[in-house]
Amino acid sequence: MHNVTALELETWLNDADQDNPVLLDVREPWEFETCRIDGSVAMPMNSVPDKLPELDTQQPIVCICHHGVRSRQVAMYLEQQGIINVYNLTGGVHAWALEVDTAMPTY
C-alpha cells in the first residue's frame, strides 16, 4: 500500500499524462452526502468484501475516508486480496477540504 497526500492526489488528478485512479470512498452514506471528492465512488467499508467484484482493479485505487484510518484498513484488505496498486489518502477527505477544496464542507 502506498500513501498519497491531498496535494499529491490533486496533482495526480490534474495530470493528463497519468491514468486517473478509482477514488474509493469508504465512508458511510451520510458522510458521503455531506462532502466528497468529485468522481468518488461510494462503497462503505463494511460493503467492500461483497462489492469487490465491482471495482476496476486494473486501475490504481485510492481509498478515502474522513481522516485516513478506515481507508488505510480497506487499502490493506485490498492488498490482501491481491490488488497491488492501492493508495491511502492520508488525512482523508478532511485534509482535502483543508488543503485543496477549501469550499468543501467539513464535519
Task: State the catalytic residues.
Answer: 65
Residue for grid cell 477549501: 102
* Residue 75 grid cell: 487499502
Residue for grid cell 484488505: 77
- Per DSSP, the three-state class of 88 is strand
- Cα gap 24→52, rounded to integer Å: 11
